[in-house]
Amino acid sequence: MTTKEKVLAYLEANRGKFASGEKIAESIDMSRNAVWKAIKQLEQEGLQIEAKTRKGYCLAAEDDTLTVQGICSYLKETKDWVRVTCFDSIGSTNQYAKELAIKGAVSGTVIVANQQTVGKGRYGKTFESPQGTGIYLSVILKQDRLHFSTPTLITMYTAVVIAETFEQLTGKKLDIKWVNDLFFRGKKVGGILTEAVTDFESGQIEWLVVGFGLNLTATIQDFSEEVAQVATSIFENELMPLHRNELIANILEAFLIGLETVDEAELLSAYRNRLLGLNQEVTITSRTDSYQATVLGIDSMGQLHVRLQDGSESFLNTGEVHLKL
């Protein structure tokens, strides 16, 4: 790590506590002058570092800057093998992660951004990602980490992990709209995009990029007029009870550790318990059609079970569900 990274790691580990330049220098085996220069750099990058005579330096408790050191300070079981890269702004975390995967990035490589300028969702839709107001993240997974009977289940697994972890940390319940949207109080607050690359000869998945975005503190003014009609933020009118670094770390650990022991029957049950539109009439749209149907549930493959208007039943693995909220 660079001197700046070592200083930030120390400040993150001691957030809210003052430490003299001398103490920090001794802890990271650097000179006091090097520590001072690093702190000035961090301040220029927007971190809220308090400085008091005879007390030293302290990373402000309210600072919510996304950093690699901040995320890693909350990791426990995965700290030694997760590789996090953090951007202030990026086109798309998924696109960048796919480029890294093609170049041979290891499983557990994580791309996090404070903003996406061309964030995307399913079917090429735009996912608006305002600066400093949410979580925008992608994870690279190689084939040996995947133990699902169908690729659809990885998206459903991700949705459940995010919703359950978020509720454990904040007490706020997130619902799921099939197959990849997260809702809060009737409006969309997040989405998941899973993309794969397969081997041409074998047809086997070589790696997946699982990306998700979650709106936390954006206001209606941060979104376009079109998006503001259907989306919201979870903490639009209140303070978040934790930092984004902590939230990201907890979701990452739950996601990566859970991959090793996931039970598909339990996963599907947890997903059904959060499923929006169950036993309700919805509109289903595909690339070529739009029709009404009643949602009956999901099957063991993650397909949406619906009853059509003529009384027949169908199982869908593609399409967009539009709720009548």
Listing DSSP states for 102-118 in one string gives HTTPPTTEEEEES-BSS
204 is in an annotated binding site: no
14 is in an annotated binding site: no
Return the DSSP state at 152.
H
* Gap between the Cα atoms of 226 and 85, Å rounded: 31
C-alpha separations of 23 from 1, 19, 48, 174 in Å? 19, 6, 20, 43
Q: Which of 196, 215, 193, 195 is nearest to 205 (CA)?
A: 196
93 is in an annotated binding site: yes
Question: Tokens 């539009």, residue?
Answer: 322
Q: What share of the chain is helix, strand, coil (3-state, %, to 5)?
A: 30, 30, 40
- Say if CB 197 and CB 287 are below 8 A apart: no
Q: Which of 309, 323, 319 is nearest to 280 (CA)?
A: 323
Strands across the sheet containing 109-113: 83-87, 109-113, 134-142, 205-215, 187-198, 181-184, 175-177
73 is in an annotated binding site: no
Q: Which segments are annotated as binding site for biotin? A: 92-94, 116, 188
Q: Which segments are annotated as binding site for ATP? A: 142
Q: Which segments are annotated as binding site? A: 92-94, 116, 142, 188
